[in-house]
Amino acid sequence: MSQRGVFAGAGTDTYTKAWAFFKKREVQGKGLPRKKTKTAAAGNKSTGPKIPGSESTGGKDLSNTHLDGEDTDSVPVLDTCDEIRKKISAHLKRDDVIQAAFLRDLQAQFHTARAPKRIQSVMLDRFRHMKGASAGNTSSIYYSSYVFFEKLRVAEGIKKSKHRLDMENIYGNKGMNITDDSSRGFWAPIGAGVVEDKYGRVTLR
């Protein structure tokens, strides 16, 4: 195949067999073999339409899972910020999860003007580096992650954790405060200390 020229290789066995092959196709009325066209999807990638909010769920469709308050971006949040950070870390360690897809899933959890223009990786990193039950409570990452993981839990039929049940007993159907920044100051008597427990409850000591 490395030879060049009109008559180069004309006396070889390969040339003779190739001539016979193409002559036979000509007699049969067949043209030259067509090149194989590349398929639209390479490997195991799906060519189906992307379902908003379901790109990083391992194929689990969340479009039919609806939470109370979801349409108005007011789902009661019943996980602490630290608990959500744990869930995010575990989710991103999965082999089938790409961070960019996860961020698109979070963006898809918003349905009103409250939605950020675009959830970016810097927002995710900032939230993940915070520490404390209520640290980052006003972050769009916090709210959207809770909605995403709660819908995934419901879709997979997983029971509520002890932490989740404890949060329900503490906060009822109101959920965590996601409007007032938890880093704001507290009024306290001189000498008193402000303590936050693992559920985000603040007490004076």
Q: In the predicted model, is pLDDT for residue 99 greater than 50?
A: yes
Cα-atom radius of gyration of the chain, to the nearest Å? 30
Res. 43 pLDDT band, cuts 50 70 90: very low
Res. 205 pLDDT band, cuts 50 70 90: confident
Q: In the predicted model, is pLDDT for residue 95 greater than 60?
A: yes
> Does residue 180 contact residue 174 with C-beta atoms inside 8 Å?
no
Q: Between residues 45 and 201, which one has the greater pLDDT?
A: 201
pLDDT at 5: 57
Which residues face 194 on adjacent strands? Answer: 204
> Considering the chain, what percentage of its residues have pLDDT values greater than 90?
60
Distance CA 42, CA 95 (A): 19
- Verdict on whether the full-model pTM lies above 0.85: no
